[in-house]
Amino acid sequence: MQQALSFDDVMLIPRLSNINSRGDVDLSTSIAGIKLKIPIIAANMSSVCGVDMAIKLGGLGGLGIIHRMCSIEEQAKMVSVVCNYPVPAFVSSPLKVGFSIGIGPDWRERMDACCNNANIVCLDIAHAHHQRVLYLLKEYFEFYQNYPIIIGQVATPNAVRDILNIIPEQYHSSIAFKTSIGGGSLCTTRIKTGFGIPTLQAVMNIKKEFSKISIIADGGIRESGDIVKSLALGANAVMLGNLLAGTEESPGGIIKGNDGKLYKIYRGSSSYGDKSLRGEEIKNIEGEEILVSYKGSVIRVITNLLDGIRSGFSYGGAINIEELQDSIEYIQITNAGMKESLPHGLFNL
């Protein structure tokens, strides 16, 4: 039986470092030909990425993917607002923004309504290794050719291979794959269906066979160290949901709980609330809906994550993502090793 490793199973081995300052670390990357200053993408979820999130993350050099849990007109308006937002003085290039489509009959309408104002589209489906996806992509590349696209979710090299086989090779550089399946903090797919592969293992498996394809690690990322592991072992960027949910910029109002604390709603994909927003029949629920603590500005959240990521690069003796991935070594740790990794000398006064 094969063994699959998740984030808590893996530790990167430190290397000789000549990084004088963590500020010297270059976190720039490229996704399907779209250049980003930081390797962070806001998940295309109704409670994560709307206009405010896309603007703030775009200003920091990342990418927001506008969700599709709304009408075509509303989605197109959100994309247009981000595209035409005045660029802050400290930003050297226009904000980048993406949008989401599904495999339903309205996907062409969403493409035509949004593509001229966006940089990239995300094909949003729980299991992209599906015949309906292959049919859609054949049509997509007939009409939209090299328009950058993120295809997700995939979990295996076989999925990537079957998809690439039906797409002309000259368009492969405009494709990114989002992996894996069932790893999100609110996702119940693996429990309900019995299928899935841990995100980190899926990244490693796909990278091993398709070294030149853009990979986005999506699901199960809880700390900056998980982002470093994803980048070190093959990802070009990560997609974040839970870490960005509950921020000032995430869609939805702030709720004051009975305990006096502040919260915001966080909906998993295919949750009851998510399907309600889409007007879909309420069945095949594979996601939860919860309240998460209000976190304040996403700028503070991203800044803290970037500090940890840059520190990770310094331990790996790497000035950029390419150097980090070059000859990186890792070990599998035991539960005792993971326990040792956590703060364990604390006591209550």
Domain CATH number, residue 22: 3.20.20.70
Q: What pLDDT does residue 177 have?
A: 98
- Does the residue 325 lie in any domain? yes
Q: Which band of pLDDT confidence, cut at 50, 70 and 90, is reported for residue 142?
A: very high
Active-site residue list: 187, 278
- Does the residue 345 lie in any domain? no
Q: What pLDDT does residue 2 have?
A: 86
Residue type, position 39, single letter: P
Give yes or no for residue 275 having a pLDDT over 80.
Answer: no
- Does the residue 346 lie in any domain? no
Give yes or no for residue 144 having a pLDDT over 50.
Answer: yes
- Does the residue 172 lie in any domain? yes
- Does the residue 343 lie in any domain? no
- Which range has the worst mean pLDDT, 201-210, 235-244, 268-277, 288-297? 268-277
- Does the residue 156 lie in any domain? yes
**Of 288 and 76, more confident:** 76
- Per DSSP bridges, beta strands 29-31 and 34-36 are antiparallel
Token reading at 193: 């269906």
**Of 208 and 185, more confident:** 208
In the chain, the number of structural domains is 1
pLDDT average, residue stretch 232-258: 95
Helix H, strand E, coil C: the string for the chain is CCCCCCHHHEEECCCCCCCCCHHHCCCCEEECCEEECCCEEECCCCCCCCHHHHHHHHHCCCEEEECCCCCHHHHHHHHHHHHCCCCCCCCCCCCCEEEEECCCCCHHHHHHHHHHHCCEEEEECCCCCCHHHHHHHHHHHHHCCCCCEEEECCCCHHHHHHHHHCCCHHHHHHEEEEECCCCCCCECHHHHHCCCCCHHHHHHHHHHHCCCCEEEEECCCCCHHHHHHHHHCCCCEEEECCCCCCECCCCCCCEECCCCCEEEEEECCCCHHHHHHHCCCCCCCCECEEEEECCECHHHHHHHHHHHHHHHHHHCCCCCHHHHHCCCCEEECCHHHHHHHCCCCCCCC
- Report residue 310 CA to chain centroid gap: 19
User: What is the separation, in whole angstroms, between the first and last Cα of the chain?
Assistant: 48
CA–CA distance, 215 with 238 (Å, rounded to integer)? 8
Q: Which tens digits make up the pLDDT trace of 333-344?
A: 988 878 888 877
- Does the residue 348 lie in any domain? no
CA–CA distance, 235 with 210 (Å, rounded to integer)? 11
Residue type, position 113, single letter: A
CA–CA distance, 63 with 295 (Å, rounded to integer)? 20
Q: What pLDDT does residue 80 have?
A: 97
Give yes or no for residue 313 having a pLDDT over 50.
Answer: yes
Give yes or no for residue 81 having a pLDDT over 50.
Answer: yes
- Does the residue 1 lie in any domain? no
Residue 16, domain extent: 7-334
Dihedral over Cα of 233, 237, 241, 245: its sign: positive
- Phi and psi based region of residue 18 (left: phi greater than 0; alpha: psi -120 to 50; beta: remaining): alpha
Q: What pLDDT does residue 163 have?
A: 98
Token reading at 71: 């009408």
Report the chain's mean pLDDT, rounded to a whole number. 91
Measured CA to CA in angstroms, residue 56 lies from 42, 77, 164, 262 at distances of 10, 17, 33, 21
- Report residue 79 CA to chain centroid gap: 18
- Report residue 156 CA to chain centroid gap: 17
CB 300 within 8 A of CB 207: no
